[in-house]
Chains A and B, each alone.
Chain A
Amino acid sequence: MSFITDQQTLDDLNIFGKHGGDSVYQIFNQTRTRGGALILEDMFRYPLSDEQAINKRSSIVQFFASANSTFPFESSDFDAIEPYLNGKDERTRLSVQEQSVAARLSNLVAMDADTQAIHNGIITLTRLFIKIEAFVNALELHNNHPYQLDRDGMELLLQESVFVSVLNRPAKQKWQAAELAEYDALFRFKERDKVLRLLQYIYYLDVYLTIAKVALDCNFTFPKALSKGKNRLNLGGVYHPQVKNAVPNSIEIGAQSNVIFLTGANMAGKSTFMKSLSLALYLAHMGFPVPASNMEFSVLDGMYTTINLPDDMGMGASHFYAEVLRVKKIAMELKNRNLFVLFDELFRGTNVKDANEATIAFTAAFAAKKNSIFVISTHIIEAGEVLRERCSNINFTYLPTLMKGNQPIYTYKLEQGITSDRHGMVIINNEGILDILATGLKKINP
């Protein structure tokens, strides 16, 4: 079973971002090969929900990160190889037959670009095979090493006749037209699968090395995946990778505190904290390093966030209905899955009474699902008081606002409890609106 999520969540967390915008994918998108970029995108699209698979990928990356390895091949080589291998048209196949005098003559003067690209592709590919063999031979791994399977796979593949013939070829020997045609037939047609399989290992290697480099550059941490169903999440010093000078926060979630009830003023950083938490968990399920100082988590089956959905107030009640439908969809998913569910300001488009009742009803119902994690933020602090009475497994946290004169200041540091910040009235009073009105009235009606 794979990790489930949806477009809304991907948008909320800015995984792929809008066109040209900064996205989380962009942080990691530094692969040197196009094949690697495709694999990376797949990893982002399909996080894992299997403890072993997550830990395996994570430890491979950790291995390369600790070895501080660099990509052992030239990325320019792939610029020649990738288009060459993509050409599957039989008609472009080099001919073994003796070429006509005219063709020879014209090739002597100026070879056409297509043929030249094919020649170039063949020669670069053979050079790459030699480099791969050297890389595999140089790689000494202990037993049960996470990368062992990949290494052995490459070694085995290199013993296939197509590669053996290339590897045994004297490096300085001049290329003959007949030889080129022979290899072209092998690489692109007869033994195409094997060539692609070998390259696939290199693409994965590219991805692992890229992630390792990002982890080192950004000082990310490798999380440890725990088995499913325990519902534990220990997250220390988590921050948002796209916020400058982000303040790190720590949170601990267990079966006894699987609902986080978050309050705080609008600018206090609720959404940012919620995004950082979700993002860390998302990356962790990909087996990727996360922007935190330490992390340990039980593997979940999926993630649904609702952060930016309510921004379009113009849609009004029909928007409220859309929100209700989203909760319903998630409620259905919760039947047989353990999920991470996040709601930012649930029902803020409706009247306060309804929003209050609905928030209490839903949070209490969610709290009964002890194998899933829920994060709920709201302005309705009254709902928190009621929930405190009703459920024991809710973790009440808030992001504080301090007043410096009239200017609100935010610490972005998570604290226990429900906010009691009442800066709204403080600001209204500071501006003396009521005084202005009272004195004005006296002047008019003395």
Chain B
Amino acid sequence: MSFTTDKQTLADLNLLGKYKSNSIYTIFNQVRTGGGERLLQEMFQHPLAHPDQINKRSDLFKYFQERNLSFSLDTESFRKMESYFNSSSGSNRLLVTAATAWKKFASSFLRDEEYNFLNDGLLATIEVLNSFRAFVNSIEDDINSPYAAERLAISNIFQDKQLQVFLEQKVVKEFSFEKIARYEHLLKHNLQQEMEFLINSLYKLDVYLTVSSVARQRNFSYAQALPATQPLLKARGLHHPALLKAVANPIDFNKDHNLLFLTGANMAGKSTFMKACGIAVYLAHMGFPVAAEELSFSVMDGIYSSINVADNLNMGLSHFYAEVLRVKHIAEEVARGKRVLVLFDELFKGTNVKDAYDGTLLVTAAFSKYRNCCFIVSTHIIEVGQALQQEGNHISFAYLPTVMNGVVPQYTYALTEGITGDRQGMMIIENEGILDILSAS
């Protein structure tokens, strides 16, 4: 089974999107190669579902992060090399020579760029492969390292005699016609598979180095994936990766505490906290570094969130209906026995208070019985919390406090146990003395 989520969740968490500002993808998208970018996208689109796979990938990132290896890949040369290998060539040595001869002729008499393109491509290839070889050789030969297999495969390719001759020749500005035709045949025919492997390794290396350097810069850490036998999600210092000065909070979900009931004022950071949890779990399933000091989790089947739906109150009841349908969809997934993380932010807020109270209470209580899932439910209706306390102690209660600094509310963003008792609303009204003004005349 694969890790599933849906459009709404991806949008709520702002995970994907190259051109969306502040998406989680853009944080990591500092890769230098097009292939690296494709690989990164692929990783974002398909989180992993097996703890071994997850740990294997995160070990790779960790390995590169710890070694802090620098690999000076010249992007321009690499781009030239890529396009050199993308241009096709024949398998027959004679035909290749003939085609090259035509290109040389076209270059001399027709000002055609093809021949120069071959020459430049070869020069770039020599440069890139030499620095790649130097980089791979600089990595210690440790059979236990997560990169060992890949390293071995790369080294083996570089053992090739013809390739060595090609790489170690004296660098000139222009190759002779004979050499161009020979290398064309060598690289694109004889060593075709090997070259593809090397280029793919470069793409992967690009991703490994980029992700590990982002993790280093932002102080991210690697999550530990556990088998899905027992539900577990435990983190220290969890924060939102896109916020620079985010306040860190702990979370702790397990079989006996599978639902967090979250209260607090609007600006207090409820949504941010929920998003931070969702993003961390998603990144963790990708084997990526997460914005936390420490995170361990049992592998889940997916994430479902309902965070930003309720923002447009003007849509009214039909919107309420859409929200109900979303809850239903999630209920169906949960009822099928999926182990998922569910984030409900201000459920049913577009309807009257009584209905919202009843709905939130009944739905929350029913979901909480699924001990193999983790839930975070936030609401303004603090009375629901009081009623939920009767449901049993698998529900934990936390709130994000508001502190009044004079009449200006201030937020600590630090998760506190309990249900909020903040009543700044009436306090602000009283401070402004509006009722006195009205009764004065």
Contact = CB atoms under 8 A, between A and B. Distances in A.
Nearest to B366: A437
| Ranked 4 nearest A-B pairs via Cβ | A440-B335, A424-B355, A354-B425, A266-B316
Contact of B325 (A319, A345, A419, A431): A431
A431 B332 CA distance: 11
A433 B313 contact: no
A422 B351 CA distance: 9
Interface residues of B, number: 67
Interface in A309-348: 310-311, 313-321, 324-325, 327-328, 331-332, 334-336, 345, 347-348
Contact of A358 (B348, B372, B429, B439): B429
Interface of B: 265-268, 310-321, 324-325, 327-328, 331-332, 334-337, 348, 350-356, 358-359, 362-363, 366-367, 369-370, 372, 380-383, 402, 407, 409, 420, 422-426, 428-429, 432-435, 437-441
A268 B320 CA distance: 13
A181 interface: no
Interface in A281-318: 310-311, 313-318
Nearest to A356: B353
Contact of A437 (B335, B428, B434): B335
Given A324-B432, A358-B426, A443-B335, 6 more contacts: A316-B265, A319-B266, A320-B425, A327-B434, A381-B354, A432-B328
Contact of A352 (B310, B381, B409): B381
A257 B433 CA distance: 26
Contacts of B353: 352, 356, 379-382
Given A350-B380, A350-B425, A365-B435, A318 B267 contact: yes
Query: Which of A324, A336, A348, A356 neighbours the largest number of chain B CB atoms within 10 Å of its CB?
Result: A324
A434 interface: yes
By secondary structure, the A interface counts as: helix
B320 A368 contact: no
Contacts of A439: 335
Contacts of A353: 382-383, 423, 425
Contact of A316 (B267, B312, B437): B267
Given A316-B265, A433-B327, A424 B348 contact: yes
A335 B440 contact: yes
A379 B380 CA distance: 14
B425 to A, nearest CB: 3
A267 interface: yes
A125 to B, nearest CB: 52
B265 A317 contact: yes
B438 A368 contact: yes
Nearest to A428: B359
Interface string A261-284: 001011110000000000000000
A425 B437 contact: no
By secondary structure, the B interface counts as: helix
Nearest to A308: B314
B354 A324 contact: no
Interface string A412-446: 00000001011111011001111011111101100
A401 interface: yes
Contacts of B409: 317-318, 321
Contacts, number: 204
Contact of B337 (A421, A433, A440): A440
Given A424-B359, A425-B355, A441 B425 contact: no
A362 B314 CA distance: 24
A368 B438 CA distance: 8
B425 A358 contact: yes
Given A325-B432, A352-B380, A428 B362 contact: yes
Contacts of B354: 381-382, 422, 424
B228 to A, nearest CB: 14
Interface of A: 263, 265-268, 310-311, 313-321, 324-325, 327-328, 331-332, 334-336, 345, 347-358, 361-362, 365-366, 368-369, 379-382, 401, 406, 408, 419, 421-425, 427-428, 431-434, 436-441, 443-444
Given A422-B355, A425-B359, A428-B324, A265 B367 contact: no
A345 B316 CA distance: 13
Contact of B428 (A265, A321, A406): A321
A366 B439 CA distance: 9
A431 B355 CA distance: 15
Given A266-B350, A311-B313, A379-B352, A444 B320 contact: no
15 contacts: A265-B352, A268-B317, A317-B265, A324-B428, A350-B266, A351-B420, A352-B383, A354-B426, A356-B353, A365-B439, A368-B439, A424-B356, A428-B362, A433-B366, A437-B369
Given A327-B434, A331-B437, A433 B328 contact: yes
Given A311-B313, A424-B359, A444-B337, A369 B352 contact: no
Contacts of A365: 434-435, 438-439
Contacts of A361: 429, 435
Given A316-B266, A317-B265, A354 B423 contact: yes
A311 to B, nearest CB: 6
Contacts of B372: 444
A336 B441 contact: yes
Nearest to A367: B438
Contacts of B327: 428, 433
B265 A351 contact: yes
A436 B324 CA distance: 13
A352 B351 CA distance: 12
B437 A332 contact: yes
A75 to B, nearest CB: 40
Given A267-B318, A350-B380, A381-B352, A441 B369 contact: yes
A265 B317 contact: yes
Given A327-B434, A436-B335, A347 B425 contact: yes
Contact of A317 (B316, B363, B383, B402): B402
Contact of A427 (B324, B381, B435, B441): B324
A143 B226 CA distance: 97
Nearest to A335: B441
Contacts of A321: 407, 409, 428
A364 to B, nearest CB: 9
Contacts of A316: 265-267
A367 to B, nearest CB: 10
Nearest to A336: B441
